[in-house]
Structure 1
Amino acid sequence: MSLLAILLAYSLERSVTLSRNFHWRRIVLRWQQWQSKQTQMGRDGQGKIAEWRQHLLGDVVWAVLPALIIVFVVALFDSLLLSFAVGVLALLATMQCGQARQAYRAYLAAASDGDTAGAAEQLRQLRRAAGRHDAAPVHELLLWIHLRYYFAPLLYYVLFGIFGVLIYATLRDMRHHHNASWRKLQFVLHWLPTRVMTAGFLMVGNFSKALPVWLNSIGNKPQHNLEALGKVAAAADDLEQRHEDDITSTALTTVALVKRNLLFFIVLLAVLTIIGWF
């Protein structure tokens, strides 16, 4: 049933436009905004909650409450059909990245037309969609977007079910304080998806060249997840521009790589399901 939920969710994500009100990011942000308003109104007990939320742990616990409520209700009914339906909806709600898809298509169109300024603007939009503030190259942005909105939700759903995908998406999308503790939490949250996703690059790309780079990414010296993604992908496939005036080749090769990689893991899940390991 989990494999069927994944396949259905990925198919619907391509063909169905989900209202923004049902995007998990919108739900989490509204939840946090509601609590902030309650605190400002000075309701009983809200001051203590606001004080508690000043700490990272309190902020995270409060943000994940909607996910915990959903998981509790599903567990309470103990229905396979309900779990399947909620699993599909959870995956669909957490995989919404329309802004990134639009920016990517506009980037290709502008680059094909020779509109350098337009391509640069769409690259900035991709950077915003990826949640990056640094001037990362286009292939790193596309890899990071795919990891956060497609691969990581799939992996956490496979490992922990509805609970895993909703908790991951909450920690990915919630408002937070920019500090060292939050950056460390994000590093830990994306460490496993990054290493599993790049392990797939070995299978669908240049194995012998990418293997040493992948092993280095899981070595004793911690590597930034984005850096590890970019290095292993570049080793697994040729991401360099084919011509000096062709700035779309890197983006197209990157997207082709992640599509092959996703298909590889879908097939792997199907095989594991058939032999009874999943």
Structure 2
Amino acid sequence: MMLMSLLLVLSLERLITKTPHWHIEKYASQYREFLFGKKWLEDDSSASTLYTLLLAPAIALAAVEYWLLGAFFTFVEQSIVLFICIGCPALRATYKCFLNAAERNDLQACSMYTDQLGHCGSINESDGSATAEGKSFGQHLTWLNYQHYAAVMLWFIGFGAPGALFYCLSRSTTEALCSANHPLKASAGRLMFALDYLPVRITALGMLMMGHFSRALPEWVNYALRFDVSAYDVLTEISSKAEMLTPEELAEQAENAAVEPKVLVKLAKRNVIFLLVITSALTLVGSLA
């Protein structure tokens, strides 16, 4: 069922332009407004309160699946939740605008679109320090592609629709608290560090399998068991090793800023296919339902 949901949703996501009603950000924002309106979440709330409130919708959804829905309706519900959680229309629109600016060789517009991606959530969750400086548009895009596709897929594969919902609510809330410089942003950052720790390494492993294995493997081994490096740095460093530009591409990059993002996007797409192949294999051997 999970494999069927993934294939169905990824196909629809490529074919259909989502409206805000079909994206998690709308509902995550409404949920945060509800929590602050009821004063269940305030500036002086504890980290445990934040974590509990973020986990509550996933627990409620799991309870509905277990006690109320049969196999078929669970499949429908999980597919709908996954469709809402996966992807990012705003990210795709920004990417297209960047490509158009790069084709015009408008470097100022390229820089503006790089800033427009939003880097507030790209922090070192262990100490709250920013780590986005010096990263290229392609590297930022790789990270956001992971957050909106690969990570959602992995949480869905591991825990079904409740897992995908919990991850997306946590990701959206962390970004919102960080942008608002809220007192709870450090607690939210630590939660995301934990939620991303294993998925980002699985994703990076897929990238080195789909890219330059021997060049990226030492980097992956170096980061595999480290707890002092942000998920953002792990993914961007390994992806840059797994898909380095050729001398010809480097020369072209000097005239067309879209070369590197296109190369890294292709790597990210191959990685999604890799995850689907692994999911298929696990389904065939009976490890996944």
Q: TM-score, normalised by structure 1?
A: 0.88
The residue aligned with 1:29 is: 29
- Among residues 71, 75, 84, which one is paired with 2:75 in the alignment? 84
The residue aligned with 1:14 is: 14
CA distance in 2, matches of 1:271, 1:34: 42
CA distance in 2, matches of 1:110, 1:162: 37
Of stretches 77-86 and 240-249 in structure 1, the one that deviates more from structure 2 is 240-249
Structure number with bigger Rg:
1
1:198 and 2:213 aligned:
no
Q: How does 1:1-278 map to 2 (within 5 A)?
A: 1-39=1-39, 49-50=40-41, 54-127=45-118, 131-132=121-122, 134-135=132-133, 136-174=135-173, 175-176=176-177, 177=182, 178-220=184-226, 222-239=228-245, 242-243=250-251, 244-278=254-288
Q: 1:100 to 1:32 in 2, by over 3 A?
A: same
CA distance in 2, matches of 1:30, 1:53: 21
CA distance in 2, matches of 1:71, 1:221: 30
Q: TM-score, normalised by structure 2?
A: 0.85
How big is the alpha-carbon RMSD for the aligned residues of Structure 1 and Structure 2? 2.2
Q: 1:263 to 1:188 in 2, by over 3 A?
A: same
Aligned length: 268
Q: 1:109 to 1:77 in 2, by over 3 A?
A: same
CA distance in 2, matches of 1:36, 1:230: 34
For residue 123 of structure 1, what is the amino acid of its counterpart? T
CA distance in 2, matches of 1:55, 1:239: 46
Give yes or no for contact 2:105–2:256 (8 Å, CA) kept in 1: no
Give yes or no for contact 1:53–1:59 (8 Å, CA) kept in 2: no
Give yes or no for contact 1:100–1:125 (8 Å, CA) kept in 2: no
Please give the per-residue CA displacement for 1:12-33, whole angstroms capped at 9, x wherever unaligned: 1112233313422221221221
For residue 13 of structure 2, what is the amino acid of its counterpart? E
- Residue 50 of structure 1 deviates from its aligned partner by 4.9
- Residue 52 of structure 1 deviates from its aligned partner by 9.9
The residue aligned with 1:43 is: none
Gaps of 5+ in 1: 40-48
- Residue 250 of structure 1 deviates from its aligned partner by 0.6
For residue 119 of structure 1, what is the amino acid of its counterpart? C
Gaps of 5+ in 2: 123-129
Please give the per-residue CA displacement for 1:237-277, whole angstroms capped at 9, x wherever unaligned: 11475222221111011001111111111112112222323
Give yes or no for contact 1:74–1:83 (8 Å, CA) kept in 2: yes
Please give the per-residue CA displacement for 1:183-210, whole angstroms capped at 9, x wherever unaligned: 2221111111110001112211111111
CA distance in 1, matches of 2:198, 2:41: 32
- Residue 71 of structure 1 deviates from its aligned partner by 2.2
Using CA pairs under 8 Å that are at least 6 residues apart, name the structure with larger relative contact order, 1 or 2.
2
- Residue 151 of structure 1 deviates from its aligned partner by 0.4
Q: 1:220 to 1:67 in 2, by over 3 A?
A: closer
Please give the per-residue CA displacement for 1:163-188, whole angstroms capped at 9, x wherever unaligned: 21111111111244454333222111
